[in-house]
Amino acid sequence: MDPKVLDQAAERAGIIPEYIDAWGQRKVISTETKRQLLNAMAGVADDLALAAALPPVWVVREGESAVLSVALSEPADWVLTEETGRQHAGYLSGGRLALPAGLPAGYHRLALRRELRHWSCQVIIAPPRCYEPAALLAGHKLWGATIQLYTLRSQRNWGVGDFGDLALMIEGTAKNGGAFVGLNPIHALYPALPGWASPYSPSSRRWLNIIYIDVGALDDFQQSSAAQQWWCLPETQGTLSALRDGDLVDYAGVMALKLSGLTLAFRHFITRGPEDPQRRSFEAFVREGGESLRFQSTFDALHRHLTLAGHPTEGWQQWPEPFRQVDSDEVREFRLKHHQDIRFFSYLQWLAARQFDDCFQLSRRLNMPIGLYRDLAVGVSAGGMETWSDRTLYRLEVSVGAPPDRLGPQGQNWSLPPQDPNVLFARAYEPFITMLRANMRHCGALRIDHVMSLLRLWWVPLAGSPQQGAYVRYPVDDLLAVLALESHRQQCMVIGEDLGTVPQEITAKLQAAGIYSYKVLFFERKDPAQYRAPDEYVPQAMATLTTHDLATLRGFWQLEDLRLGNRLHLYADDAIYQRLLADRQKARQALLDALHAWKCVPAKLGKNAERVVMSPILNRGAHRYLALSQSALLGLQPEDWLDMALPVNVPGTTDQYPNWRRKLVREVAEIFDDQGITRLLREVDRLRNKSADGQNSSPRPE
């Protein structure tokens, strides 16, 4: 292809020809990278360029004047049908169509007719900003717990934190004044591949991880004599004790035990008559889930069937050829022959949804202003249900990642196939809308991981290294509008994880759209010797001490994360390790200086960070400091209440470290029975209230 023609095609497809790297240098994308990405896109952008008179979708903000240029030279009739069925009609001439004034927010349909030719387009009218809870609009400063659900311990779970433990966490947080409990992504993983534990590499973002079902709380488990006999067996209780007592989650053991119990519960469930309330609820859930639930249940049943038959795989690409196509004769035959197995996995999704909703309703009864907030992963794994069932949406020849930066000089490949923005546009953003609805259901806030993906994603050809990738542009204004509309419809606020290198062009867009930023204490340094003061924090934001990908507070202060990284050989040479140690020493001193300046720690603690070790006083001081911040939201990890050192995840590792498996050191009930922890949380709550009233108990430093 002629280079000029190639460049034009790349521009139409959304491939950004150059970018500024982490060192401020201009980088130009190579011709070969453009060619590989265009081949992966299969000409979708060129097909759209030849589209009909109307685009697939037209997105407008409420209150904006909206005029669409129509690719039609002859006059034509038009009809706009609102969601309610109300219609507006007119006559088009001159190739420009203006929407009627005062259209309500929602999804409408525009139809254009010229003699025997017809065109149509989805018209989306969106509010200017995302939904915000009344408490935030009133100026309240809220705090809550941010947890990795699988890490929770209790005397009643089956070796992994579950929705029953989540209910205990909600009650304990609310009792101490907390406004929410934040969760790791709880997307569907792989029941047949339980060792695939990363919540950020799901099989599907539309459905739930069934490992979180509280089996013992199910009516069908309690009422089944077979289930109760199995439950009382010494072998069952022995397995349960070993899983529950382990310091790490044994996903394979937990999944095997839970599927045994759930199978017995399902056998009891199918004895219920068609008019039984639970049976009717399940059938309604299946109807509402539609094709997506059918795909999810079929995928899980088929994957399990092939695994039990001796074909364990990491995804559908390694399945026998006939099963790789979702609409093949063999898959249809499997559905007929294994109908009950598929119903079983639909039943599990129903149970998970019911129990999660019960948790959200509990938070509502406890008057938590937000209740639950979920985490939306940036993508799905290549071998999961979503890519199996929708080949045109995902570009399997490339992966999402990151270009080289200071923390990752080789770049990153996340092994997540991206959605094609051109296909999203052609489908009037229906996959994005569906995903948002699934994740905003039963919660008061949604955190979007790597929110920059609404603007651009770094695409890496599978045959190349991360350095050989390029940014691909996404329709950020349209996606933000859809996000605002769904946010209001679901009464769910939005938090955008915007850490790292954030393009300046999106920062203002996110703020104007009502999306809350994400501020981590460890990164909030104005320079190596000075931390940002609490009253300098962005109000429209969530502040946190740390995250699941970073050190805990103790790990940070005691350098445990750096020592761990060195032991795991994460640093290219000792010089890098020594530079990290030197920077950490500066960071510790700067933090200690800030804590003293804002009187968050007593003078007796000492002012030389080299001589100060982690202690309850220092821990409390860090919590107090962030509690005083102007950010509207504050998220705190139980790991820091418990003074734990080891992180839950070490980026850049796979088998070297037990990522996503480390449990908390105390049970949920014990956490909230600990007087030291409850004093800490109540002080955080008091300081948040004072901060909201402009009555910070710590004076501003001189």
User: For residue range 392-414, what is the model confidence (pLDDT) as tens digits?
Assistant: 999 999 999 989 876 667 788 99
Q: What is the pLDDT of residue 72?
A: 81
Chain segment 431-453, per-residue pLDDT in tens: 999 999 999 999 999 999 999 99
**Average pLDDT for 15-31:** 91
**Average pLDDT for 418-426:** 96
Chain segment 162-205, per-residue pLDDT in tens: 999 999 999 999 999 999 999 999 999 999 999 999 999 999 99
Q: What is the extent of the structural domain holding 69? A: 63-126
Q: Is the model's pLDDT at 7 over the cut of 70?
A: yes
Q: Is residue 104 part of a domain?
A: yes
> What tokens does 77 get?
């009739």
Q: What is the pLDDT of residue 47?
A: 65
How would residue 43 be classed by pLDDT, with cut points 50, 70 and 90? low
Share of the chain above pLDDT 90, in %: 84
Q: Is the model's pLDDT at 694 over the cut of 70?
A: no
Which whole-number Å values give the CA distances from 32 to 2, 6, 15, 35, in the listed order?
12, 10, 12, 5
Strands of 273-421, DSSP E: 371-376, 398-402, 412-416
Chain segment 454-492, per-residue pLDDT in tens: 999 999 999 888 999 999 999 999 999 999 999 999 999
Q: Is residue 67 part of a domain?
A: yes
Q: Is residue 120 part of a domain?
A: yes
CA distance 94 to 427: 27
> What tokens does 217 get?
């709380």
Q: Which amino acid is at 366?
A: L
CA distance 322 to 332: 11
Q: Is residue 621 part of a domain?
A: no
Q: What is the pLDDT of residue 697?
A: 47
CATH of the domain at 90: 2.60.40
Mean pLDDT of all residues belonging to the chain: 94
Q: Is residue 261 part of a domain?
A: no
Question: Half-sphere exposure (CA, 13 Å, Cβ side) for 501?
Answer: 16
**Average pLDDT for 619-628:** 98
Q: What is the pLDDT of residue 84?
A: 95
Phi, psi dihedrals of residue 201, rounded to the nearest 5°: -130, 65
Q: What is the pLDDT of residue 652?
A: 82
Q: Highest-confidence range of 73-87, 350-364, 559-573, by mean pLDDT?
A: 350-364
Q: Highest-confidence range of 50-59, 311-320, 419-428, 458-467, by mean pLDDT?
A: 419-428
Chain segment 243-259, per-residue pLDDT in tens: 999 999 999 999 999 99
CA distance 382 to 419: 11
> What tokens does 629 get?
């911040």
Q: Is the model's pLDDT at 701 over the cut of 50?
A: no
Q: How many CB atoms lie within 10 A of CB 94?
A: 9
Q: What is the pLDDT of residue 691?
A: 66
Q: How many CB atoms lie within 10 A of CB 409?
A: 11
Q: Sign of dihedral through CA atoms 410, 413, 419, 420? A: positive
Q: Highest-confidence range of 325-329, 572-576, 692-696, by mean pLDDT?
A: 325-329
Q: What is the pLDDT of residue 94?
A: 79
> What tokens does 233 get?
């067996």
Q: Is the model's pLDDT at 50 over the cut of 80?
A: no
Q: What is the pLDDT of residue 197?
A: 95
Q: Is residue 460 part of a domain?
A: no
Contact 215, 258 (CB under 8 A): yes
Q: Is the model's pLDDT at 640 over the cut of 90?
A: yes
Chain segment 75-87, per-residue pLDDT in tens: 899 999 999 999 9
Contact 272, 219 (CB under 8 A): no
The answer, as to whether pTM is greater than 0.85, is yes
Q: What is the pLDDT of residue 327?
A: 95
Q: What is the pLDDT of residue 600?
A: 98
CA distance 136 to 256: 44
pLDDT-wise least confident of 312-321, 343-352, 636-645, 668-677: 312-321
Q: How many CB atoms lie within 10 A of CB 655?
A: 6
How would residue 695 be classed by pLDDT, with cut points 50, 70 and 90? low
CA distance 243 to 235: 12
Q: Which residues of 611-628 are buried (b: 16+ CB within 10 A; e: fewer)?
A: ebebeeebbbbbbbbbbb
Q: Is the model's pLDDT at 696 over the cut of 80?
A: no
Q: Is residue 534 part of a domain?
A: no
CA distance 255 to 272: 26
Q: Is residue 98 part of a domain?
A: yes
> What tokens does 136 get?
């935030």
Q: Under 8 Å CB-to-CB from 377, ≥6 apart: which residues?
A: 185, 187, 199, 200, 201, 202, 205, 449
Share of the chain above pLDDT 70, in %: 96
Q: What is the pLDDT of residue 178?
A: 98
The three-class DSSP label of residue 249 is: coil
Residue among 381, 403, 391, 380 nearest 459 (CA): 403
Q: How many CB atoms lie within 10 A of CB 138?
A: 9
Number of domains in the chain: 1
Chain segment 521-557, per-residue pLDDT in tens: 999 999 989 999 999 999 999 999 999 999 999 999 9
Q: Which amino acid is at 670?
A: E
